Chains A and B, each alone.
Chain A
Amino acid sequence: KAGVTQTPRYLIKTRGQQVTLSCSPISGHRSVSWYQQTPGQGLQFLFEYFSETQRNKGNFPGRFSGRQFSNSRSEMNVSTLELGDSALYLCASNSGSPTYNEQFFGPGTRLTVL
């Protein structure tokens, strides 16, 4: 069974631009969660989607948004990029509730904002 895939793996943008990241979960998994990882803050939860609906949301500004498609693939969008948005963005999928089921992480997208 193929793992979680994320595209692109690396991305360089400038301040003020917007970016869209993509995540394809493991086949059959309906829950996709997004995380931001920085050296200073560690891993932080962005949001979780289940069956095309946002089920949980972390404490990030509205510039961070996401969506999930009917095939469970998910996209994350960051508008008006800031230098502080430079980070590794990880997505994880699981079969049901991430609270009770094992999450499988993708390799991440490394975003650099110049």
Chain B
Amino acid sequence: KNQVEQSPQSLIILEGKNCTLQCNYTVSPFSNLRWYKQDTGRGPVSLTIMTFSENTKSNGRYTATLDADTKQSSLHITASQLSDSASYICVVWRDTDKLIFGTGTRLQVFP
């Protein structure tokens, strides 16, 4: 069954700290994996897109990693800011143009 599981479901950290969000998938065949940030009441914004052959991709303080062998991805946020408070969604695209969404991780950054 094609699934994308994210952990933790929610996370609270203090401003300035680092954190890592996890995404495990069982989607096959695999085209690419994306991380999105969604602020409350707004549409998702793309953070990174990684294909099968890419291991790491960065976007400012956001760094995504991908291990295609173990079918795991992580999103690392460095030196968190209050504006990082949002939901982070992992999405895996199949080759057949079908996409599978994770349920997201709700991150709250407190001062």
Contacts and interface: CB of A to CB of B under 8 A. Distances in A.
A3 to B, nearest CB: 9
B42 to A, nearest CB: 6
Contact of B99 (A45, A90, A104): A45
B32 A42 contact: no
Given A99-B31, A99-B93, A102-B49, A90 B44 contact: yes
Interface residues of A, number: 22
A42 B99 CA distance: 13
B97 A106 contact: no
Contacts of B91: 43
Contacts, number: 47
Contacts of B45: 105
A26 interface: no
A29 B98 CA distance: 20
A76 to B, nearest CB: 15
Contact of A42 (B42, B49, B104): B104
A44 B101 CA distance: 7
Interface of A: 4, 42-45, 48, 55-56, 90, 92, 97-100, 102-108, 110
12 contacts: A42-B101, A43-B101, A56-B97, A92-B43, A97-B97, A98-B97, A98-B99, A99-B95, A100-B31, A102-B46, A105-B43, A105-B44
